[in-house]
Every structure is written in structure tokens, then in C-alpha cells.
Structure 1
Amino acid sequence: MAYSPLSFNLLFTSLILFISTSTSQKTPSNKPHALILPVTKDISTNQHITRIYQRAPGIPISLTVDLGKANLWVDCENNYISKSYRNAKCNSPPCKLAGSGSCQSCYMGPSPGCNTNTCTTSVTNEVTDRLTDVGEVALDVMYLQSTNGSKPGKLVSVPGYVFVCGNTKILEGLPKGVSGMVGLGRAQIGLPYQIFKAFNLPKKFGICLSSLPRSSPGAIFLGDKPYVFPSQGDVSVYLHYTPLITRPFSIPGTNFRNDPSTEYFIQVSSIKINGKNVNFNTSFLNMNKEGFGGTKISTTKPYTTMVTPIYNAFVRAFMEQRKNIPRVKPVAPFSLCYNAKHFPNTQVGPNGPFIDLVLHQKDVFWRIYGANSMVKVGRNVVCLGFVDGGNSDTAIDIGSYQIEDNFLQFDLESSRLGFTSTLLLHQTRCSNFNKRTQA
């Protein structure tokens, strides 16, 4: 059953009551099988938002999900109040976890985000053209929902969660009510790794982004299967796998004191539309030794972008498959649009050509159906939901629209990505996981 607005509100009301009566602990709660975070879609920005509980007393914090970002950052300028807040002293273990080599002297504090002899690290808003500042590394208590893989369980606490204090100006471009961003990237300070370590969980997490608005959330699963959806059972049985690739430098072309990227890359070898190859120079798809190229998975890009040579060939190939259908005036940011009557709805969305991202082997491909390729932008208009990425340092950025209602598992133990294609093939979607709290 989908997660109704009423049950969503009741769940968080009960969690607030629980947290407000809890005291800070020195060790995490009893080990859960896995943890779950609800993820909602903000229609006005196409960003995906999760909610955690932080501070003492605990309050709900809304955060934009950034799959590849290294850390969790929160606006500490706007009334951050917590009895359990601790700034990370210079050269302390939390500073090393954050990869910080800098210390600050603050003459306005002491207060959250402004303390002397505290280490700092970068705060980045990937949504707003990589808007970056420096923030204080800090620790506070966090509360998350446990799950056995089929329904939520008890609330558990992480007393010393390491995060970064940002400032209000970095919130530019994020939805109203959002207090920061949560990074799921491959870094020790990232949410997955901190939770894996706190509860000794397998180094695996799953993402299922809902295509529906706030009243029908998807989920992030921190831990291993099962991922049980009503009437379908464990959706991990539908997973296909491809290796995860590490970009050697977080800033391509730079190797001076530059750590490997925390983002998630896969090898796309070619692209097919209705089984026919898209003709372009496939060397664009390969990541070179300086870190340029490759295919990245992103939750801060609303739609998949391709560098111009690939995009132009891709659009030409798509038009060839629908050459007898007249086009209509493009609607930004898209360049190819049609009258919706030519793309009638099916079980897997508008009846457009299927798109295959052929991966590390020819028989392994990620198939994209109409639900993830065609975007309805008006009553009678649908557009090809891919965007010209210009001269990007990444050949392809797979955006959130293309992964909605797909289940993805990031297996960090085996460095591989599991993917299902659309769950609509199996008569379910990401909003159908049972997120109701246990009595």
C-alpha cells in the first residue's frame, strides 16, 4: 500500500514524541538489520528530499539527496539549537574522517558553526552550479528508522554522527523548508559509511526514487536485502549488475593533492534505440587517465545530460525511429517534443522507442522505457527527457528522472551497481514499499 499523507504525518509525529523523550547515548542503539529513509519528490524543483531526525531534543531535518556528495551538511546559521552539538577539535578523529587539513579561528562564537580551534571542510551545493563554501566539522545525535526489509521497525540513534555546518546562502536553489544536503558518496564521512560502521552493516545501500509527488515517497535502504514490496516480494531478484568505476581525481585533470572522486561511475559502452546502435565516436564514453569522460549517476541532475556530440547523435537516432511523427515546438530544457497523442500510455509509460545503455558487456544493458524517457510538459506535449550537456567533464550524467521507479543497489563491498530497469514491469513502483511504522 502506498504511503498516504496522513500516515506520513502520523509517523513523523510519533517519531518526534519518541525523540523528545529520549536522552543522548554513548553508543548506538541495538543493531538493526537495515535502516530506511523516506524520499519524496519536490515537483517544483525535481529534487528528491529525505528527512532525518537530528539534535537534542530531536527535530526533523529535510535534506536534498546528493548521491555522489561526500558529506551531510546543514544550515547552522538559522537557529541551530542542540544540547548534544560538539565541534570537532583540530586534528581530532572526526577531522581525519572528513579529510580536513584546515583549522579556523572564529571571533563571533562560540556557537554551532563558529568555534575556534575547529577543523573545517568544503560545503558544496551541486544543484546551484557547484556553489561552495567552508563549514565547521561537527558531531550531533541522529535518529533513523530501522527495517527488517519489509516494514519499518524501531527508531535507532547514532550519537556521534559527523556532519558539516553550512550557512544559509548555500541553500540557494534548494526547495523551501530544506536545511541542507545529504551525501551518499564513497567517503568515510558519507552517510552510508558512517551508518555501516555504527551498526556493523554490510556495505550496501539501495535507492528507489518515486516519480510521484510528496504524498507518495520512495526510500533509501542502508544495508542489505531483502527489499520487500507488497505483492512482489524481494525486488532484489530483478537486479542485474555492472561494475562501479572510481574516477581517479575529484577534479578531472588535477592530480595535485586531489583525492579520488566520491561519485558513482559505470561503464557505458554504447547506446541503442529500439535495438539499433546510435552512431557516434564511442571513445567519448571512456574515462581517460585524467578523469575526463565516463558515465556518472546523479540525483542532483533532474534529467540525463550527454556531451554535445553524443546528444546530437542520440536525438537524430530517436527522430529516425519516429520520423513519420510531426514534432512540436521544443519546451526548455528539451530540444525534441511531440504531440502526446502519438505516444499513448502503456504499462511502462508513453509508448516511445526503448533505449538501451549497453554496459561493460554486450549482453548487459540498462533498458529505459517511456516512463523514464518521455516527459509530459503540458496537456498535449511530451518531450524526450534528455538534455544537451555541452562540453561537460563527464560524457553522460544519468539524472534522477531516468532512475525514478528503478531500484538501484550500490554494493560497495563488491564495487558493483545492481539495477532493475523500471519496476512498472513488475506492477509496482518505488512508492509502494510499506513505510508505515510498527505499532
Structure 2
Amino acid sequence: MAMPKLQVPLLFLFFFFFFVFLALTPSRAQTFGPPLVSPIQKDASTLQYIITAYLQSPQETKLLLDLGASYIWINCDGYNSSSYRHIPCTTLLDEFVGCFACLMNCRDSNPNCGDSVCVLKPENPFQSSISGNEQYAPALVDYFSMLTLDNTGSIGGPSSSSPFTFIFSCGYKENLEGLARGVTGSAGLGRSSISIPVQASAIFHYPRYFALCLSGSKTRPGAAFVGTKGPYKFGRGIDLSKPLAYTPLLLNPVGKYSYPDLKKPSSEYFIGVTSIKVNGKAVALNQSLLDIDSGNGSGGTKLSTVVPYTQLETSIYKAVTEAFVKAAASSPFNLTATKPVQPFSVCYPAGNVRTTRAGPTVPAIDLVMHRNDVVWKILGSNSMVRVAEKGGADVWCLGFVDAGVRPKTSIFAGDPSIVIGGYQMEDNFLQFELESMRLGFSSSVLSRGTSCASFRFAAKKG
């Protein structure tokens, strides 16, 4: 199907007013429409987190949840829509989007082709091919929608009948390498002008908030919320928006697209972990590793939904695991480590580990933030991973992995010292406040008698 053509004046006006609309200050406008919500499924084979959106007519679309990515991208090979538009180069919208380059002289009538159109990079963190992650594809404007949250704050209902115009990137079939079956792209929630929460806020004048509650259940989903400060009603009517502890969201000034003579800020979210305690005792660490290096962006603590288990720089990993083993061997735990199972290095026989509602009874790991009284407490439900091999080992393993010695994010940008992975976020409620740039976090909600799997989604209407 040929792409619908607009006359030049109308096309210019469309993009001009779209740009102005995106630039509106949310706090100065009335809120329109209910907030957005999506189930977050965890794929058992890849450990990837997946949300649901509606595109192309619209139809249900599964997207990788990538907390730190800048925007949405979707495989446009076979993309079926009559409403999409490319973004012309050298326009205000081109500059606003931050296009990587301009595609020229591609005359086919399909979303992955255009003449003098803006291109973005469809990034896949699981793609093994280096050349695949260097591909560029046209940026599109088309309809996009998610489920909505009703006014009770407890039940999500279908809202695909109310799509809105959104900017995202195309991708190609080869960009799907390594993604879970049925996933056709990625949903970016990162620090950028065209991430999902920022675009939704500009279009519907929502508060610039989003929240994640990743499920620890093997069968039931968690939930993602966009454009609401709460309430977030989970099982037993518990509102997870309170109480929360708060810590600043930090900007890393050197992102992966930086060059020696041009620094570009990272789109990923960092927090200021200042110390780590195991069983209440501070672990001796090289403090400089906990700070973000303004020169190359290395160090600090990043949040990631595409890393399954928390990664620690080698010296931090060694110090934390040694402290954990020592504490676990003492009373009241009295645990003796056994042969580890990859990718972990500290494991205990499952039969020797007592369990409670908060998970295995093991030493707590505290991530101390900008103040000593602001602590992300990691209990057994988030620190220990059950590994049961058929006919083999049945163990609980400390769910942290060695990230190596300062690996590189890119040629010019360093890697964080700590990456808090998805498993450590499960059954923890996280609220990202993009207006005040702070993170609200709950630590494990299991101790409150609820879970991230207890949010009720309405059945989809026929």
C-alpha cells in the first residue's frame, strides 16, 4: 500500500503543531484521558520483561521493556498501517527527535524507506551481531496506544480505541535477534524527549511519572504505569504509592553515543549508592567506584530491566560475596556454601535454607543511598535464586554476578560499577518522578502481604 501523501503546507503544519504540542509544560495544562498501564510479563527462557502496546490499526504488540532506552522501535518489515508518516530531515521535529542521520533516495513505498527522512537506531541489547546494532532505520509518526487505568486505581481496561500520535523508530527483522519469541521491538522509558513517559505526558498533559512493579511470579504479570502519581491498588487493596523512600535520579553526563570532543548524556537512570551493608555491617569498598566519573561516565549505580541479575564490578563483587558468606555462616543462619551453579559463585543446599514470606532467611543486603536513613533493603526473595537441576543440584544461590573490571559501554564511555538487575527489582515498587528527578522505592512488598503479581487487569473486551 502506498504511503498517503500530504501537500507540503499541510505536512509542515502537522509537524510544527506536533512539535509545539510535545513542548507544552504538563504542569500548566489540564490532564486529559486516564493514565496508561500495561502488564509486564517475564519470559522464562530469556528472563526478559515484556509489555503490551497497540500499533498498526491497532493490533496487540509485544515489546521488550528497556528502562534505559531512549524510544520505542518496532520491526517495520511487513508493517501494516495507512496512517504513518516519516519525519523529514532539517525540520524542527528532526532536531527535537535527535536523528542520527538523513536517509536519502529510497523510493519504495514502505515505512523502512524514504527520501530525505530522519533515521534512528533500533537498539537491541541482546543482539550478538555488532553490525546489527549499527543499523539505522527511519523514524515514524503513527498511532500508538496502551491499556488505561480506571479511576479506582486498581483495574486496567482496554483503551486501544483511543490511540494517539507517537514518534518511534522502525527496525528490521534482523534486529529481533535474541529477543523473546513474539516480541517485535523495544519500549524505551529512558531520559529522552521521545521516551514513552515523556511523549505521553506531553500529549495528554499527564504528570511526568511512571512506575514499575516487576512480578516475581512465574505465571502472573507485574504492571507498568505511565502518567499517574497513584494510587496503585494491588492485592488486599494496598496502595503501593505509600510509603516510599526517595533518592535523587542522577544524570550520567557521558552516554554511549559520546565522543572525545562531544559528550552526550546517558538516557539511563542512575542512583547514588554510597555504601553497601551485609547483615547490618558496612562492606569496605573503593568509594571512588560508587561515583560517576564526569570525564568518561564510568562508575556509579545504574538501574536496568535488560540485565537479569545485579552486576558488580569485580572488587565490589568480591567484597560483598565474602561478607555475605561470612555472615551466612554465623548464627542464626549457620549456612555452609556448596558447589556453585553458573552464573553464580555462592550457593547453599536448598534443604538447609529456611524460607518465609520474604523469601530465604539469609543476611540482608542494604544499598545505602544519599543519606544513611535512605536504604534499599534486599531480602532473601531478591538476593537468592533457586536453581533446581533435574536429577542434579537443588540450591539457593546469591543472585549477583561479577561484571569484571570496569568494562566499557562504548569506545569512549565507561560502564557503571553497579547495575541493579531485574531480579532484584521484582516485587519492589519503583516510581520514577521525572519532574523532580527522583526515584521512589518500596523495597520488597512481600513483607506487606502483597506482590507485584496481585494487580488486577480487566479481561479484554471483544
Give me the TM-score of the superposition, normalised by structure 1. Answer: 0.89
Map 1:242-391; keep pairs closer than 5 Å: 242-251=247-256, 254=259, 256-290=261-295, 291-323=297-329, 324-378=334-388, 380-390=394-404, 391=406
Say if 1:67 and 1:298, in contact at 8 Å, map to a contact too.
Answer: yes
CA deviation map 1:98-157 (0-9, x unaligned): 201521125462211111111112221123368342111011111222213222246163
2:136 maps to which of 134, 137, 140: 134
Q: Does 1:70 align with 2:77?
A: no
Separation in 2, partners of 1:333, 1:184: 28
Q: Which residue of 2 aligns with 1:44?
A: 45
Structure 1 residue 437, shift from structure 2 partner = 4.6
Deviation for aligned residue 1:238: 2.3
Return the letter of the residue paired with 2:255: S
Q: Does 1:117 align with 2:119?
A: no
Secondary structure at 2:289 match in 1: helix
Matched, 1:218 2:228: no
Answer whether contact 2:277 2:365 (CA < 8 A) is retained. Answer: yes
Amino acid of the structure 2 residue aligned with 1:69:
A
| More off after superposition, 106-115 vs 201-210 | 106-115
SS at match of 1:316: helix
Q: Distance in 1 between matches of 2:263 and 2:103?
A: 21
Partner of 1:409: 431
User: Contact (CA 8 Å) 2:52, 2:146: kept in 1 or not?
Assistant: no
CA distance in 2, matches of 1:69, 1:253: 15
Q: Deviations over 1:248-267 (max 9, x none)?
A: 02139745333211110000
Unaligned runs of 5+ in 2: 1-17, 23-30, 408-414
- Which structure: greater strand fraction? 1
CA contact (8 A) 1:158 1:198 kept: no
Whether contact under 8 Å (1:253, 1:292) holds in the other structure is no
What is the CA distance between 1:375 and its match in structure 2?
0.2
2:240 maps to amino acid = V
**Residue pair 1:125, 1:132 contacting (<8 A) in 2 also:** no
Alignment: residue pair count: 410
Distance 2:403 2:397 in 1: 17
Query: Is residue 378–residue 444 contact of structure 2 (8 Å, CA) maintained in 1?
Result: yes
Secondary structure in 2 matching 1:236? coil
Residue 151 of structure 1 contacts residue 437 of structure 1 at CA under 8 Å; is this kept in 2? no
2: CA distance between counterparts of 1:362 and 1:110?
59
The match for 1:53 is: 54
Q: Secondary structure at the match of 2:162?
A: strand
> What residue identity is the alignment partner of 2:344?
F
Q: Hey, what's the Cα distance between the residues in 2 that align with 1:267 and 1:202?
A: 24
1:329-387 deviation per Cα after TM superposition (whole angstroms, max 9, x unaligned)? 22111111110122222110111111100000011110001110000011621110000
Verify the 8 A CA contact 1:110 1:116 in the aligned structure 2.
Answer: no
Residues of 2 paired with 1:406 and 1:268: CA distance? 17
In the alignment, the residues of structure 2 paired with residue 108 and residue 143 of structure 1 have an alpha-carbon distance, to the nearest angstrom, of 29
Once the two structures are overlaid, the 10-residue window that deviates more, 281-290 or 393-402, is 281-290
- The one-letter code matched in structure 2 to 1:151 is I
- Which residue, out of 380, 387, 399, partners 2:421? 399
Q: Which amino acid aligns with 2:104?
A: S
The one-letter amino acid paired with 1:259 is: K
Decide whether the 8 Å contact of 2:289 with 2:417 is kept in 1.
Answer: yes
Q: Which amino acid aligns with 2:401?
A: V
Q: Does 2:163 align with 1:161?
A: no
Q: Distance in 1 between matches of 2:312 and 2:434?
A: 26
AA paired with 2:444? T
Residue aligned with 1:205, SS: strand
The percentage of aligned residue pairs carrying the same residue is: 41
Could you say which residue in structure 1 is the equivalent of 2:198? 193
- Superposed displacement of residue 326, structure 1: 2.7
Cα distance change on mapping 1:252 and 1:365 into 2, 3 Å: farther
Equivalent position amino acid for 1:199 in 2? F
User: SS where residue 52 of structure 1 aligns?
Assistant: strand
| Distance change in 2, residues 1:43/1:438 (3 Å) | closer
User: Match of 2:25?
Assistant: none
* TM-score for the superposition, normalised by structure 2: 0.85
1:172 positional shift: 1.1
- Gapped runs of 5+ residues in structure 1? 1-25
Aligned letter for 1:318? F
Note if contact 2:99-2:119 (Cα within 8 Å) is conserved in structure 1.
Answer: yes
Deviations 1:151-184 (A, max 9, x none): 2246163432100001111111111111011100
Match of 1:31? 32
Change (3 A) 1:398 1:361: same
Distance 1:142 1:239 in 2: 31
What amino acid is aligned across from residue 76 of structure 1 in structure 2? C
| Distance (whole Å) between structure 1 residues aligned to residue 75 and residue 86 of structure 2 | 15
Is contact 1:232-1:426 (8 Å) kept? no
